[in-house]
């Protein structure tokens, strides 16, 4: 089994993807989570993680790696943790299984556990008891590729678990009478107003040198910013615009926060839709500029108005562009100061301003800043 897909359960802890591992830290995502950053940096290495993690102390965490026919969990809890707060790794034989086949718990001391995995298995990593994966979150909630977001835990899906089993079609839920529609895309989801994210991203020194290089200016804390930026988009510090431009790996340029509270880190081109895999394959997984990667982002939409490949987000230097890739029902974008959303002309890239709402199908995404503590 490979676990290309890891989805995030909504919550306020830290969930990160580092290489092939998923890290869940029982520390608040909002505010200082230097310990979560330190953990993420520590496991960004080749080879066995136990020797790296065992000497570390501090916040409770779970690191889960899926390889071949086994899952490896590296866990550290805290003494006297209540059962409903224990970091838990659960292995379900399929997405529709109601109860896990294996459950691993963090203990006060560091432990490394290995459990067998069959084809089609689904692994959950949570603070507290495991959800049953299917009903709680479809395999299309949030695909975390890299970086860290707020969450209560993560679900690792094998390729096999994403295939519908026989008649059990996960997409054809009954259409609810109060489902959101895109007929009059005007209001903003109240979720956005209540959503304040503080997302950990890698520091500039930790970004792989292989990432695309861009020219910009650094704040006093070393974050690379767009040439025209007066203040750091990551930490708010002043950026000296008299300083010479320098080249560096491009940082994440924003977060796309969905109306259900899940968030996607924008650091490569993305294609968003209910099943964008064919589109991604057709493009050879390549970004529009041919250099970077094109990440498929799967959204679930019960209105049926979301196309398989609906919207592409491109990165051009420091600028994000939105391109409706010929969706059946269109895409509307409302910049923060605009009264009404504007429909994107199909196939034409349109600059996307920070704070914009994007209406596609029955879903709404909002582009937000990536802010570090």
Binding stretches for Zn ion (CB under 5 A): 219, 221, 223, 232, 234-235, 237
What is the residue-wise DSSP string for 220-250?
Answer: TT--EE-TT-SB-TTT--B--TTSPPEEEEP
Give the nearer residue to Zn ion in terms of CB position, either 188 or 237. 237
Strands 331-334 and 342-343 turn out to be antiparallel
User: At its nearest, how many Å lie between Zn ion and the CB of residue 297?
Assistant: 27
> ∠318-320-326 over CA atoms, to 5°?
150
User: At its nearest, how many Å lie between Zn ion and the CB of residue 219?
Assistant: 3
User: At its nearest, how many Å lie between Zn ion and the CB of residue 185?
Assistant: 34
Give the nearer residue to Zn ion in terms of CB position, either 232 or 358. 232
Q: How many Å apart are CA 172 and CA 349, to the nearest integer?
A: 32
User: At its nearest, how many Å lie between Zn ion and the CB of residue 147?
Assistant: 17
Give the nearer residue to Zn ion in terms of CB position, either 188 or 235. 235
Task: Give the up-direction half-sphere exposure of residue 87: CA atoms within 13 A in the CB hemisphere.
Answer: 29
Give the nearer residue to Zn ion in terms of CB position, either 234 or 359. 234
User: At its nearest, how many Å lie between Zn ion and the CB of residue 370?
Assistant: 11
| Burial class (CB within 10 angstroms; exposed 0-12, middle 13-18, buried 19+) of 42 | middle
Give the nearer residue to Zn ion in terms of CB position, either 85 or 218. 218
Q: How many Å apart are CA 208 and CA 249, to the nearest integer?
A: 8
Task: Give the up-direction half-sphere exposure of residue 249: CA atoms within 13 A in the CB hemisphere.
Answer: 15
């Amino acid at each position: 089994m490979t676990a290309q897909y890891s989805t995030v359960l909504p919550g306020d802890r830290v969930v990160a993807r580092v290489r092939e591992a998923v890290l869940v830290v029982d520390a608040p995502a909002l505010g200082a989570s230097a310990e979560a950053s330190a953990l993420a940096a520590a496991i960004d290495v080749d080879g066995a993680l136990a020797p790296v993690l065992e000497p570390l102390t501090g916040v409770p965490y779970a690191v889960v790696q899926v390889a071949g026919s086994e899952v490896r969990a590296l866990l550290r809890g805290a003494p006297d943790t209540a059962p409903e707060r224990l970091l838990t790794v659960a292995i379900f034989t399929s997405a529709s299984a109601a109860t896990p086949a294996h459950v691993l718990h963090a203990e006060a001391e560091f432990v490394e556990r290995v459990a067998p995995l069959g084809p089609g298995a689904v692994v959950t990593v949570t603070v507290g008891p495991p959800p049953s994966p299917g009903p709680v979150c479809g395999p299309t909630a949030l695909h975390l590729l890299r970086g860290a977001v707020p969450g209560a835990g993560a679900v690792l899906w094998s390729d096999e678990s994403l295939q519908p089993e026989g008649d059990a079609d996960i997409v054809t839920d009954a259409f609810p009478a109060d489902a959101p529609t895109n007929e009059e895309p005007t209001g903003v989801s109240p979720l956005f107003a209540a959503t304040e994210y503080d997302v950990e991203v890698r520091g500039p020194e930790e970004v792989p040198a292989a990432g695309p290089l861009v020219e910009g200016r650094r704040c006093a804390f070393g974050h690379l910013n767009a040439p025209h930026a007066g203040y750091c988009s990551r930490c708010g510090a002043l950026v000296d615009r008299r300083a010479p431009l320098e080249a560096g790996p491009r940082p994440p340029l924003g977060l796309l926060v969905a109306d259900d509270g899940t968030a996607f880190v924008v650091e490569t081109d993305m294609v968003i839709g209910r099943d964008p895999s064919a589109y991604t394959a057709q493009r050879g997984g390549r970004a529009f500029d041919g250099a970077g990667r094109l990440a498929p982002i799967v959204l679930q939409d019960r209105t049926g108005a979301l196309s398989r490949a609906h919207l592409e987000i491109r990165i051009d230097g420091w600028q994000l562009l939105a391109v409706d890739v010929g969706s059946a029902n269109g895409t509307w974008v409302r910049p923060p100061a605009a009264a009404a959303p504007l429909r994107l002309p199909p196939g034409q890239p349109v600059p996307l301003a920070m704070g914009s709402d994007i209406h596609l199908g029955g879903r709404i995404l909002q582009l937000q800043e990536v802010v570090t503590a």
